[in-house]
Amino acid sequence: MVFILALPLTYAIQLQLLGGIWIIQTLPALVLGLYTRVLDHRGLLIGWAAGTWMAVSLQLKGSIFTVNLFGMQVPGYAAVCAHHQSGRVVVVSLLVRVMGLKRSEDRTRPEDYLDVVEG
């Protein structure tokens, strides 16, 4: 509580912007990364870093990021732009498979899920 009250208002707004970008990018990463095992962890990390870079390139002072599409400049909410640009996640995941890089080991067992269902 002290952190929130002692923090200057501009920092609170900047943290909220960054938090919004991270949250919007977290949902696809969780759904596609954890539950389907389709995407590689390196691609997910690069997608998250791209969204963070967008916010930092704005110096955390605004929420509108301009994307260049086929010579046109399209402004939009940074979190939505970051979400759409996470196509990099798919590209990196495909490159990892094509290059034959070692994937992370899945250590979950069917018994791990039974506890949640029965629980």
Condensed to tens digits (0 to 9), the pLDDT of residues 39-91 reads 777 877 777 787 778 778 877 777 788 888 888 998 887 777 776 666 777 78
Q: Are 52 and 18 in contact (CB under 8 A)?
A: yes
Nearest to 23 by CA among 85, 83, 90: 83
**Neighbour tally for 28: CB within 10 Å:** 15
Q: Are 32 and 58 in contact (CB under 8 A)?
A: no
The encoded tokens of residue 49 equal 């870093």
Please report, for the chain, the start and end positions of each structural domain, with discontinuous segments joined by +: 2-101
pTM across the whole model = 0.62
The encoded tokens of residue 35 equal 């539950």
Task: Give the model's pLDDT for residue 65.
Answer: 80
- Owner of token pair 């759409």: 84
Q: Where are the alpha helices (DSSP H) in 1-119?
A: 2-6, 9-28, 41-57, 78-84, 87-99, 110-118
pLDDT tens column, 25-44 = 777 667 776 677 777 778 77
